[in-house]
Structure 1
Amino acid sequence: MVLLNNNYKLCLGSETIKKIHLGNDLVYSVADSIKLLLDEVPIASIAYSIRKLSTAYTGFCLRLRRESDNLEQDFGFLNGYLDSESIDAFLGASTGYVVKWYDQSDNNNHAIQPNIQYQPKLDLSSNKPALLFDDNGSNSFEFNDISNIRTLFFKLEYSSTANQVLAYLLGSDTNYDFHAGSSGVFFNTQYCSPFITNGTIKLNNSNVAANTKIPENSFVFSINTTGNLLADRISKDRYFPDRGWQGTYSELLIFSDVIDNLTTSNINQNLIDYYL
């Protein structure tokens, strides 16, 4: 038996054994040896992703609206990844917009956007699909309030053609804990919560300041706060129509717990290994 990246593989010589039966009973399967991210850290308050995050999760990944006729359909995972084949068959030559991003935690706090004007597009141009928020900063999702946010992880890409408006990662209808900075920086250190500026922020697993410029490529980003934050939406600041994320979202994990430094680094590395 070989341990590889915290996963066990049962081998006979150089060959991997996929299943073992004892009589008619299946006593070992290679699937049993594979652990996903939330199997290791199962305490997330919210978990949105285009990959499967928990072996126990049996729900959908997202709900799409087909632009050509506005028909909606849910799509799940195939071998741990978003079922792009079924999506391609559903869309044909049309474009797909995301109506709902399903929460893979135990809390069923799904991100929704019923208004077609504000729905992000599903970007299928690469082998890892992503939710594309337009360059006007107007796309967003809403979810039930979380008022005790302490640790967050993101997989993002910032648009190189963005209008450099305030690129909010998360927002709320009542406050601006995640107040974005102008000229393409992550946070405005005057207006965002001091629990962010006094916390630990990592860009691709390296510590950075709150007012660091957002890179114009794919990256992994995490925040360990020094106190509770509030959010109820992905992108979009309060009632402002053009303060929102510009680029793609692939994954968002929110924890109400303080995640220790080692586990934070391990989660960041998990995202880096998968996406970058």
Structure 2
Amino acid sequence: MGHLATFADNVGGVIISELMAINRTTLADEDGEFPDWIELQNTTESPVNLLGYGLSDDPDNLFKWNFPEIELAHGEYLLVFASGKNRRSREMPLSSKSEVNNIPANIPGLKLWFDALDADTLTLDEQNRVVRWQSKVAQPDMPPLGQPGPIDPGKLDGLLLWLDAADKETLETENGRVTLWKDKSDRGNDAFQAERNRQPALEELDNNLSAIVMDGQDDVFHFNKINNIRTVFWVLAESKVASAAYRPLLGDMKAFHFARSSDRALFHGGANTYANHGQSWINGERIDPSRTYPPVERLGLVTTITSEPSSASNLASDRFLPGRNWQGQIAEVLIYNRPLDTATRRAIENHLVEKWSIASDDLPHVGRSATQSNTYRQPKLAREPLTGLPILRFDGLDDHLLFQRQSFVRTVFVVAREDAHATKSHRAMLGDLKQSQLNRGGDRLIYYPKGHFGRYQSLVRINGQKVDPTATQLPESIFLLTSSASFNIQTDLIGSDRLVSDRNWHGDIGEILIYDRQLNSHEIDKIEAWLMAKWGLPASMLHTNFKLRSGNDIVILTSPLGQRIDSLPVLDCPPDATVGVMAESAGHFIFGQPTPGAANRSKPYLGCLGSPRFAKPAGLYSQPIDLEINPPDSFSELRFTLNGSLPSPEAERYAEAIHLSEPTVVRVRAFRTGFLPGPVAT
């Protein structure tokens, strides 16, 4: 059983805050190997230059390994691998200089830029969970929310149709199906459907709101034909399972002024599609409707001013042609007979944004954002352990962020690090609610061999080096991934592929650049060089000339003048556990959940337990046996299972020999209050 020892108090402000003597799967170095590591922290209020400091595992040779000139800022952590490789040079990340920090924006086609180093772009809660990650791409034509103030749509002249699912008195249902949706415009243009199998469903939303749900097969509402449509507002969300087809938001028996595109874009580019040749906005941002998808899966706001007076008589079918029915939610529709000016349009948008809570998830004050309103699915702001730089950490379970869909992406840059414990499933850094062009391959492959990057022409590079993405695994260490495609990529997710349960990213993401065109080689080289300098890639870490010996070692930090600054024992710990200190507690502890590059906030233990010992060896016995098990010490209690599962503290307690009359898998583990549970014996 490992136990703690007491050493000299820290006297220099720089401490040995954590160390790991058996690194099996926790943290890879720049070579993709898993050596032991030591973590230092500067606890003083001022920077400390480590030049001349000694690090050693030998009390008789305090300068066994010397630090190069590295400045450690107040509160900063520094990792040193105890690998025996003896490397004293490190490529430090460069902070963005003002004269060059707009290199990505100076290259045409930049649509989204997420940068974890820019603290002003992150909205966090009190637990450092990321609520919003704002893009740095400027949107100068997008007025802030609240300017002008919201107004009641019914008070504007020219209102031809107002369908509002939030007003339940306007909805008539029968057996859960909506038969009538009353028009609130006083024009009598009620939307109706008499046929039972074509009536949409009604879905209850949060905040006592509701939405109509069209099935994409034959659900449709009819209303009196309207011939002078100029401005339309929709609050809607297309289903993520809706197939690519001409699924319109408004339709007519003859005209197709609001025709959808077959590639899922908002409107078709035909001459008679007056909606496409006018102006359109999604969530208040001006868009090209022939190159932009409608909001998917969560409600968004679509606004259109047509180029000419347009006609419609149904919601939502294109001339009743098969396969051309809207599939998804429709919460509100407003139609006016005049092009609304900018101030009036924004006032209506602000009203709808506030009413349907679109602003909290989709509509930022400036620029575009990736957001997550569910606390349990928010990634956390953390520090990348090798570089020490801020990143977003995704848990691999359900953490993800959503942003407005980009439908014509051609070049993407991502700075990331996959967690060493990530399972070998198709875990995506970027993805889409509906499409899978960025689908990862299994076994850590960059892209799926039978996917788009395996079938179509593309360029993929890791840290500036060209690779075959369908045969190359992601590095174990932090990396820059560049993907340039000859095909259009759709994406609206960070950290997930279509929200499939085992395809969520497990690891860190530091920066994302998304362009709507294939950059040329000079442009790619320029951005890669800038990102690699900014993030210190490829990582170059410090390595001592000695390795740690679990249970029989001590690590000592010494000042240039020979004064022993701090020390930490290397206790007998199980693999991937650490010894470290806590800011508000005296002494040393053992941690079952390491935190390289960050404060030790996981549960501390006073020591770790050993493995139980079976009195009989494993094997086949010709007759029943009574199996005795000995604990690793006199203070531990044993918990066991007979079904092959891992013993927990709630498993059956071992009190006497276990009688076994047939072949059985016995698993047992030692537990003790305040101590890290021992390894499982089987």
TM-score by length of 2: 0.30
Shift of 1:125: 6.1
Match of 2:461, SS state, is strand
Assess, with a 3 A threshold, how the Cα gap between structure 1 residues 274 and 196 changes in structure 2: closer, same or farther: farther
Report SS of the residue matched to 1:270: helix
Aligned equivalent of 1:35 = 100
**Whole-Å separation in 1 of the counterparts to 2:449 and 2:372:** 29
Structure (1 or 2) with the greater helix fraction: 1
Q: 2:393 aligns with which of 128, 132, 139?
A: 132
Q: Which amino acid aligns with 1:246?
A: H
Root-mean-square deviation (Å): 2.2
Match of 2:468?
A: 209
Take 1:199 and 1:125, find their aligned partners in 2: how far apart are those partners? 29
Contact 1:196 1:210 in 2 (8 A): no
Range with bigger deviation, 240-249 or 117-126? 117-126
Instruction: Provide the C-alpha distance between the structure 2 equivalents of 1:38 and 1:62, rounded to a whole number of angstroms.
Output: 19
Partner of 2:506: 246
* CA distance in 1: counterparts of 2:485 and 2:458, whole angstroms: 4
Q: Equivalent of 1:62, from 122, 125, 133? A: 122
Residues 35-81 of structure 1: CA deviation (Å, up to 9, x unaligned): 312353254100000235xxxxxx931000113xxxxxxxxxxxxxx
Which of 99, 110, 114 is equivalent to 1:48? 114
Deviates more, 1:223-232 or 1:193-202: 193-202
In structure 1, the residue matched to 2:249 is none
d(CA) in 2 for partners of 1:264, 1:254? 12
Give the C-alpha shift of residue 114 in structure 1.
Answer: 0.8
Residue among 174, 182, 189 paired with 2:449: 189
Counting aligned pairs with the same residue, the percent is: 23
User: Do the aligned residues in 1 keep the contact of 2:418 with 2:508 (CA within 8 Å)?
Assistant: yes
Aligned pair in 2 of structure 1 residues 262, 159: CA closer, same or farther (>3 Å)? same
DSSP 3-state at the match of 1:258:
coil
Say if 2:412 and 2:482, in contact at 8 Å, map to a contact too: yes
1:167 corresponding residue in structure 2: 427
Question: In 2, are the aligned partners of 1:158 and 1:248 still within 8 Å (CA)?
Answer: yes
2:485 is paired with a residue whose SS is strand
Alpha carbons 1:165, 1:183 under 8 Å: kept: yes
Q: Structure 1: 5+ residue runs without aligned partners?
A: 1-31, 53-58, 68-95
Identify if the C-alpha distance between structure 1 residues 33 and 220 changes in structure 2 by more than 3 Å, giving closer, same or farther.
closer
Structure 1 residue matching 2:125: 3-state secondary structure: strand
Pair 1:240–1:65, CA change in 2 (3 A):
same
1:241 CA displacement: 2.1
Alpha-carbon distance, 1:33 to partner: 7.0
State the partner residue of 2:573.
none
Q: CA deviation at 1:196?
A: 7.6
Change in Cα spacing, 1:132 to 1:271, as seen in structure 2 (3 Å) is same
**Structure 2 Cα separation of the partners of residues 62 and 196 of structure 1:** 37
Code of the residue aligned with 1:268 in structure 2: it is E
C-alpha distance in 1, partners of 2:522/2:427? 29
Q: How does 1:15-34 map to 2 (within 5 A)?
A: 34=99
SS at match of 2:513: strand
Q: Which residue of 1 aligns with 2:129?
A: 97
Residues 204 and 106 from structure 1, CA distance in 2 versus in 1: closer, same or farther, beyond 3 angstroms?
same
CA apart distance, 1:203: 0.3
What is the CA-CA distance between 1:260 and the residue it aligns to?
Answer: 0.7
Question: Secondary structure, in 3 states, of the residue corresponding to 1:240?
Answer: coil
TM-score with structure 1 setting the length: 0.71
Structure 1 residue 149: Cα displacement: 0.2
Counterpart residue identity of residue 132, structure 2: K
Question: Is 1:271 matched up with 2:303?
Answer: no
Residues 226 and 34 of structure 1: is their aligned pair in 2 closer, same or farther, counting only changes over 3 Å?
same
Count of paired positions: 210
2:372 is aligned, of 113, 117, 142, to 113
- Report deviation, 1:266: 1.3
